[in-house]
């Protein structure tokens, strides 16, 4: 049977390859791109013309002649500020907002000491105001945005709007957040699990660069893992891969705190700490101060957290067999005790031990991952649009 070729699909693939190459390589010519991508000159010329027409790349003048002489080539450059990305990153004690260009250069950023756990509607209103402030700071409108990207805890299956978020995050309603943002700013709103965003950030810009198999463990108020296999984010059938916070043990089955997350989350750990000298409950910043003062009660709890995480990492490694594990989240405040203990458990008990390292990107891991996710989404959208396919 004679097979037909979907030329529109081929053009989409070619334009995406060209766009990625110009973005990664920097200033280059059509001839260089044709050789690099093994593409014919006519095909290269047609696809470059389409990208030039929408403005995501531009011609910047002539380059040097080749060693054989001839005409000087016209150089092409990626337009970093063709569109912008807004990121909203939800943390335990605050919310972070930033505006970046498509390259990932942060143009404005700020933190607000407000989270959705107290009052979701007030928090969403605050988020809308924060987006407006970021846009106004650069004199741009929502039409200049490629996307708004939001990190969120829990299992986020956007295909059927099935969002599973722990009750410890209050009335956190991912669908409501998405709807309100889309209503206020008619642009794509991308919701990404925090740990998944972080593993992408570490892979692009952090300790996981040049690794094809990577796990990022986020630990604090929430416990979860982002998994990268063969250079691709592994999210699973229901986008629930890496939800190690649901890990249980036979001993924990009779407890109300059966899951790993319930056993070692910040709220659970703080309940185990004695009150301060005024009889007030201990806060997480208080716990960090007591750790720095080598309070034996705190160091014992950090050892408990480390042991639980070490076992969870070993179990995860037995399934995904990755090359590196990066630990991030609020509990990195106890890095000096946490990381060596986890590494010792992995060395002693994992079938194939791997390095366990702390995140050096910190909170920026999820931010950079969200920017990368938004850019990937927009590149795909652009290349599909120029070939006339359905969005």
Residue 387 is predicted with a pLDDT of 56
The verdict on residue 302 lying in a domain is yes
DSSP assignment, residue 332? G
Residue 20 near residue 57, CB atoms below 8 Å: no
* CATH assignment of the domain containing 275: 3.30.420.40
The span from the CA of 41 to the CA of 10, in Å, is 15
Q: Which residues contact 349 (CB under 8 A, 6 or more apart)?
A: 310, 311, 314
The verdict on residue 2 lying in a domain is no
* pTM confidence score: 0.89
The span from the CA of 341 to the CA of 353, in Å, is 14
**Statement to judge: residues 153 and 271 lie in one domain:** no
Listed residue (363, 364, 284) closest to 292, CA to CA: 284
Q: Is the dihedral of CA 254, 258, 264, 265 positive or negative?
A: negative
The verdict on residue 203 lying in a domain is no
- 308 token code pair: 């639980």
**Last residue of one domain, picked from the residues 78, 101, 135:** 78
**Statement to judge: residues 53 and 162 lie in one domain:** no
**Statement to judge: residues 176 and 280 lie in one domain:** no
Averaged pLDDT, groups of 10, the chain, 391 residues long? 64 92 92 92 92 93 64 89 95 89 96 82 92 96 96 67 63 83 94 93 94 95 94 88 89 81 92 73 92 95 97 96 96 97 98 96 94 95 68 36
Listed residue (127, 117, 67) closest to 92, CA to CA: 117
Tell me the three state secondary structure of residue 57: strand
The span from the CA of 275 to the CA of 96, in Å, is 30
**Statement to judge: residues 95 and 70 lie in one domain:** no
- Please state the separation of Cα 356 from the chain's center in Å: 19
Residue 173 is predicted with a pLDDT of 79
**Statement to judge: residues 217 and 320 lie in one domain:** yes
Q: Which residues contact 96 (CB under 8 A, 6 or more apart)?
A: 87, 88, 89, 109, 110, 111, 363, 367
Bridge partners (DSSP) listed for residue 223:
219
Which residue range(s) make up the domain with 103?
A: 84-197+365-386
The verdict on residue 1 lying in a domain is no
**Statement to judge: residues 236 and 317 lie in one domain:** yes
**Statement to judge: residues 117 and 62 lie in one domain:** no
The verdict on residue 391 lying in a domain is no
The span from the CA of 43 to the CA of 288, in Å, is 60
**Statement to judge: residues 273 and 190 lie in one domain:** no
**Statement to judge: residues 34 and 141 lie in one domain:** no
The verdict on residue 249 lying in a domain is yes
Residue 390 is predicted with a pLDDT of 40
How many domains, in total, are found in the chain? 3
**Statement to judge: residues 96 and 69 lie in one domain:** no
* CATH assignment of the domain containing 68: 1.10.10.10
Residue 112 near residue 124, CB atoms below 8 Å: no
**Statement to judge: residues 62 and 103 lie in one domain:** no
**Statement to judge: residues 120 and 138 lie in one domain:** yes
Residue with tokens 């070692």: 264
Residue 273 near residue 297, CB atoms below 8 Å: yes
- 53 token code pair: 């027409």
The verdict on residue 371 lying in a domain is yes
The secondary structure of 250-277, three-state, reads HHHHHCCCCCHHHHHCHHHHHHCCCCCC
**Last residue of one domain, picked from the residues 25, 52, 78:** 78
**Last residue of one domain, picked from the residues 29, 46, 78:** 78
The verdict on residue 262 lying in a domain is yes
């Amino acid at each position: 049977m004679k097979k037909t070729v979907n030329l529109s699909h081929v053009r989409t693939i070619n334009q995406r390859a060209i766009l990625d190459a110009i973005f990664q390589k920097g200033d280059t010519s059509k001839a260089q791109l044709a050789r690099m991508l093994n593409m014919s000159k006519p095909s290269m010329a047609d696809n470059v013309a389409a990208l030039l027409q929408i403005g995501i790349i531009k011609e910047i003048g002539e380059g040097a002649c080749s060693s054989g002489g001839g005409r000087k080539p016209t150089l092409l450059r990626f337009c970093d500020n063709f569109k912008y990305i807004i990121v909203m990153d939800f943390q335990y004690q605050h919310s972070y907002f930033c505006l970046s260009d498509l390259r990932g250069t942060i143009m404005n950023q700020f933190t607000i000491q407000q989270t959705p756990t107290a009052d979701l509607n007030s928090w969403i209103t605050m988020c809308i105001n924060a987006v407006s402030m970021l846009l106004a700071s650069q004199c741009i409108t929502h039409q200049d945005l490629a996307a708004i990207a939001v990190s969120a805890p829990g299992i986020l299956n956007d295909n059927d709007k099935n969002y599973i978020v722990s009750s410890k995050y209050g009335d956190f309603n991912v669908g409501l957040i998405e709807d309100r943002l889309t209503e206020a700013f008619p642009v794509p709103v991308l919701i990404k699990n925090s740990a998944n965003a972080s593993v992408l950030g570490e892979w692009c810009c952090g300790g996981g660069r040049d690794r094809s198999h990577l796990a990022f463990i986020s630990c604090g108020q929430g416990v979860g893992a982002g998994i990268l296999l063969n250079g691709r984010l592994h999210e699973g059938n229901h986008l629930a891969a890496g939800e190690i916070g649901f890990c249980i043990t036979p001993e924990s089955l009779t407890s109300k705190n059966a899951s790993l997350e319930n056993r070692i989350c910040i709220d659970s750990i703080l309940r185990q700490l004695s009150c301060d000298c005024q009889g007030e409950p201990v806060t997480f910043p208080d716990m960090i101060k007591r750790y720095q003062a080598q309070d034996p009660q705190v160091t014992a709890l950090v050892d408990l957290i480390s042991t639980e995480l070490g076992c969870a990492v070993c179990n995860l490694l037995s399934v995904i067999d990755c090359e590196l594990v990066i630990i991030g989240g609020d509990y990195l405040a106890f890095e000096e005790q946490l990381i060596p203990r986890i590494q010792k458990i992995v060395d002693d008990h994992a079938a194939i031990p791997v390095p366990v390292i702390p995140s050096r990107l910190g909170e920026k891991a999820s931010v950079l991952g969200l920017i990368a996710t938004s850019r990937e989404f927009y590149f795909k959208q652009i290349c599909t649009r120029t070939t006339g396919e359905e969005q």
